[in-house]
Structure 1
Amino acid sequence: MEQQKLKKEIGFFTALTVVVGTVIGSGVFFKPEAVFSATGTAGLGLLAWILGGVITICGGLTAAELSAAIPETGGMVVYLRKTYGKLASYMLGWAQTVIYFPANIAALSIIFATQVANLFGTSDSIIIPVAIAAAVFIMLMNFLGAKIAGSFQAVTTICKLVPLALIIIFGLFHQGDVAFRLFPMSVEDHPFLTSLGSGLVATMFAYDGWIHVGNIAGEMKNPKKDLPKAIVIGLTSVMVVYLLINIAYLMVMPAAALAATATPAADAANLIFGSIGGKLITIGILISVFGTINGYTMTGIRIPYAMALQNQLPFSGWFRKLGKTAVPYNSGIVILLISIIMIFSGQFNQLTDMLIFVIWIFYTMIFFAVFILRKREPGLVRPYKVPFYPVIPIIAILGGIFIVVNTLFTQPLNAGIGLLLTAIGLPIYFYKKNKGHINE
């Protein structure tokens, strides 16, 4: 019945702003370190950003077919349940609860604290305490209610565009002694394919968020025409912005310098605008990161709550409890505790690579789901179909497989931890199912 209640009010421009606003987050300010550290050169680093954008566009176009055909609350969880059954959807919810959202909150809190230390010139010893304080503050603010958290999100979304625009505009025209060269593409101690793969995995954190783009399909006036156009133009625009800001970085700092700093945007801003101007840009970036933490917190605390409604978790009754502001505070407490444990690692790039590895396993399953459902349910109403089928979905699948396999070989520890944490959910699922606790 939910599908009948959706009002078709969203036009192309609104859809376009949703695409751009959802995807552009904090990764663009901090991932250059990991990208250029992995690739070793400006040319290979920029190629990684381009490939990340192409895979993201193909992924967005592919997943949007499911979003348009199954416009129900729950997004990915619903698509997986319909295609593969309850176990697959449960495993996604479990992975989001113990890895994806806590790791995002932890990684972003770490980078927020790193930026604070950089802004005030303090030692790195404050990073973990400040990161924990940031995560706790955001969680407590969310406990005050969705309206307050949502208003904060709207303000910080606007703020993140300011440092982006200023660094791009002034960075591209910066007059310095840094020589910007695209060639050679690779250097001796950075093998082309493995370096490109590691750089690509790093970019995918900055592009993450595209999966939610298709969730508005059921409320669009003309999804068949406007949705693919919004995805292609929106994600292409994001890719262009990412390329431009990385070129701006490279006009100010060589690739080796970007690879050696955890705060590339702040360092570039200091060189472009001087000390005071750089600090103002840094404050803008801090607000942006704070808003991104809030976005993942708002969404993340509702995942274990939704699973508990299906009686899929231990102590589901406890997870289902809502506070006076109708916020699932117990779910929030658990997400926060896992995040704090991860914060103690102090590893921004390790956490983001692990969460990208795990979530792309499920993304790739969703790409396959388009083929499965087309064969199994040819009569399913599809207001939008992925263009150039099956080429676009195949590109998305190949990209997903490459990301997962490359991480397995180049970062086996990260991959192993991610797989172990995900696998812990299996015995819990089968125990609950055998006891007849899981709601069908």
Structure 2
Amino acid sequence: MKQERHLGTMKKNLGLATATSTVVGCVIGSGVFFKPQAIFTATGGTPGLGILAWLIAGMISIAGALTFSEVAILIPETGGIPTYITRIYGPKLGFLAGWSQMVLFYPAMVSALAVAFAQQAALFIGETFTVPLAILVIFFIVFLNTLGSKIGGSIQIIFTVCKMIPLILLIVFGFWKGTGNYPVFSPMIGEGLNPVVVLGQLLVAVLFAFEGWTAVGAIAGELKKPERDLPVAIIGGVSIITAVYCIVNVAYLQVLPASELASLSAPASAVAIALFGEVGGRIVSVGIMISVFGACNGFIFSGSRVTYFLADRGSLPGSEALVRLNKSQVPPNSIFLVGTIAAVLSLTGQFNLLTDLAVFSSWTFYTLTFIGVIKYRIERPDLKRAYRVPFYPIVPLVAITGGLYIIINQLFLSGMRAWLMSVGSILLTLVGLPIYHLARRRR
């Protein structure tokens, strides 16, 4: 039985602009600028399957967004996926979804983005201070978000607009000044590589670049008109992002070949330097840093609401402190907790490790949410649905198939490193079980 613990109510003062910018701002962060290295390394330095992976990941994300929107609008409460899992599957699984997001997904995303920011800043200050700078960035964003959701939302809007500038420059000048002599779709994959296994690895890498479109669900309780704004923000945002990602990656290949992009830790910066020279490339690099900073803000902004959701139900040690709101009507302790876990993870300094960890942990519960839409349709046909996923059940099945493929590939087909990371993610999620039962006994 749920115990109501509301020590304060967060204001419904966020509109469509903030909702859309949270989707776009969380999604367009570092992946499109840094992931070409991992993608073209996995393909053996060939472009074809890498570009195809961006298209496939976009289709899976759009199918997921269309499916996710039905349950997000049906349950427009702060907390996002843990809220939906609780309603559909029960409180235990709902808690594990929230626990996984609190200790794995959001901190891993925040730390990966902070590390990417610091690595990009190394162009200006050297690599000595990469990890300290990543931690400093995290706690600076934590401080900004404690000033109120309107400030956090405004930061998201500003940085979302700013982050489009380097993308537009890379696209326009890539097609204009690039030689265009490098192949885009051939060869598909390097010799001796298994396309089924490689595609799974590519989707994990590429879907990191799409991560964040569900984040708006976590702030649904603060939206003024969630039934109107959520589907526009989620579906429209993901469709725009898919188009931008595919175009910018083709633009990269107008400037540098896939084999060279595979050897560069900051491929977008290398493309910018090739297009604009050393000075111009550094200016574009500043724009990339702004993009990464905005995404990092978005994940702290939405991730703290998941912690608040769990604490509001008395499910965490120290729930009284985590659920308390400050005078700006935001939960500062929940924000600080997400930031602290992220700071600890950032000590690894491993961008690709952190992103793979985030993707695996998130898609396990994304897939359960997609399945839950079908389950809820069967069990609760009486509920009034302001939005219904189109082409049901085909679209949900596409999203579910994509999710299962990613999970199975990581667990059984992608090698020992991926297996260890995936099993570690599962074990850390299961650590939440004794915490759940302890909190239940206390209540």
Query: Is this a same-fold pair by TM over 0.5?
Result: yes
**Aligned counterpart, 2:405:** 402
Residues 185/386 of structure 1: CA separation in 2 closer, same or farther (3 Å cut): same
- Aligned pairs, how many? 424
The correspondence for 1:126, drawn from 107, 124, 129, is: 129
Is 1:30 aligned with 2:37? no
1:279-290 → structure 2 map (5 Å cutoff): 279-290=282-293
Offset at residue 185 of structure 1 (A)? 0.6
**Aligned counterpart, 2:238:** 235
8 Å CA contact retained: 1:34, 1:259: yes
Cα-Cα RMSD:
2.7
Is 1:108 aligned with 2:103? no
**Aligned counterpart, 1:295:** 298
Q: Secondary structure at the match of 1:251?
A: coil
Cα distance in 1 for partners of 2:328, 2:12 equals: 25
Q: Residue by residue, what CA displacement relative to the aligned partner does 1:17-63 show, whole Å, maximum 9, x if unpaired?
A: 77555533332111212222222321110011011001001111111
Is 1:210 aligned with 2:217? no
1:49-60 → structure 2 map (5 Å cutoff): 49-60=54-65
Gapped regions of structure 1 (runs ≥ 5): none
The correspondence for 1:391, drawn from 390, 394, 418, is: 394
Cα distance in 1 for partners of 2:229, 2:319 equals: 40
- Which residue identity is paired with 1:60? A
- Which residue identity is paired with 1:365? L
8 Å CA contact retained: 1:71, 1:217: no
Cα distance in 1 for partners of 2:29, 2:229 equals: 28
Which deviates more, 285-294 or 356-365? Answer: 285-294
Offset at residue 387 of structure 1 (A)? 1.5
Offset at residue 184 of structure 1 (A)? 1.7
8 Å CA contact retained: 2:55, 2:246: yes
Q: Secondary structure at the match of 2:348?
A: coil
The correspondence for 2:367, drawn from 364, 369, 380, is: 364
Q: Secondary structure at the match of 1:210?
A: coil
8 Å CA contact retained: 1:24, 1:206: yes
**Aligned counterpart, 2:435:** 428
8 Å CA contact retained: 1:58, 1:392: yes
Which deviates more, 244-253 or 326-335? Answer: 326-335
Residues 300/211 of structure 1: CA separation in 2 closer, same or farther (3 Å cut): closer
8 Å CA contact retained: 1:52, 1:200: yes
The correspondence for 1:78, drawn from 83, 93, 96, is: 83
8 Å CA contact retained: 1:18, 1:213: yes
Q: Secondary structure at the match of 1:125?
A: coil
**Aligned counterpart, 1:149:** 152
Offset at residue 79 of structure 1 (A)? 1.4
Q: Residue by residue, what CA displacement relative to the aligned partner does 1:397-429 show, whole Å, maximum 9, x if unpaired?
A: 000001111111311121122112111101111
Q: Secondary structure at the match of 1:375?
A: helix
**Aligned counterpart, 2:67:** 62
8 Å CA contact retained: 1:64, 1:213: no
Residues 377/235 of structure 1: CA separation in 2 closer, same or farther (3 Å cut): same
8 Å CA contact retained: 2:212, 2:299: no
Which deviates more, 374-383 or 42-51? Answer: 374-383
**Aligned counterpart, 1:268:** 271
Cα distance in 2 for partners of 1:80, 1:389 equals: 20
Cα distance in 1 for partners of 2:419, 2:405 equals: 14
1:138-177 → structure 2 map (5 Å cutoff): 138-176=141-179
Q: Residue by residue, what CA displacement relative to the aligned partner does 1:242-261 show, whole Å, maximum 9, x if unpaired?
A: 01111111111111222222
TM-score by length of 1: 0.89
Cα distance in 2 for partners of 1:14, 1:297 equals: 15
Offset at residue 320 of structure 1 (A)? 2.9
Q: Secondary structure at the match of 2:128?
A: helix
Q: Secondary structure at the match of 2:214?
A: helix
Cα distance in 1 for partners of 2:304, 2:263 equals: 34
Residues 403/221 of structure 1: CA separation in 2 closer, same or farther (3 Å cut): closer
Residues 142/213 of structure 1: CA separation in 2 closer, same or farther (3 Å cut): closer
**Aligned counterpart, 1:419:** 426
Cα distance in 1 for partners of 2:330, 2:21 equals: 28
Offset at residue 158 of structure 1 (A)? 1.0
Offset at residue 234 of structure 1 (A)? 4.3
Offset at residue 319 of structure 1 (A)? 2.2
TM-score by length of 2: 0.88
**Aligned counterpart, 1:87:** 92
- Which residue identity is paired with 2:198? S
Q: Residue by residue, what CA displacement relative to the aligned partner does 1:326-358 show, whole Å, maximum 9, x if unpaired?
A: 443333333222112211111111111111101
8 Å CA contact retained: 1:19, 1:231: yes
Is 1:245 aligned with 2:248? yes
Offset at residue 81 of structure 1 (A)? 1.2
The correspondence for 1:182, drawn from 181, 185, 192, is: 185
Is 1:46 aligned with 2:29? no
The correspondence for 2:378, drawn from 365, 375, 400, is: 375
Residues 134/426 of structure 1: CA separation in 2 closer, same or farther (3 Å cut): same
Is 1:329 aligned with 2:332? yes
- Which residue identity is paired with 2:257? P
Residues 66/220 of structure 1: CA separation in 2 closer, same or farther (3 Å cut): closer
Residues 378/157 of structure 1: CA separation in 2 closer, same or farther (3 Å cut): same
The correspondence for 1:195, drawn from 188, 195, 198, is: 198
Residues 391/278 of structure 1: CA separation in 2 closer, same or farther (3 Å cut): same
8 Å CA contact retained: 1:167, 1:248: yes
Offset at residue 233 of structure 1 (A)? 5.3
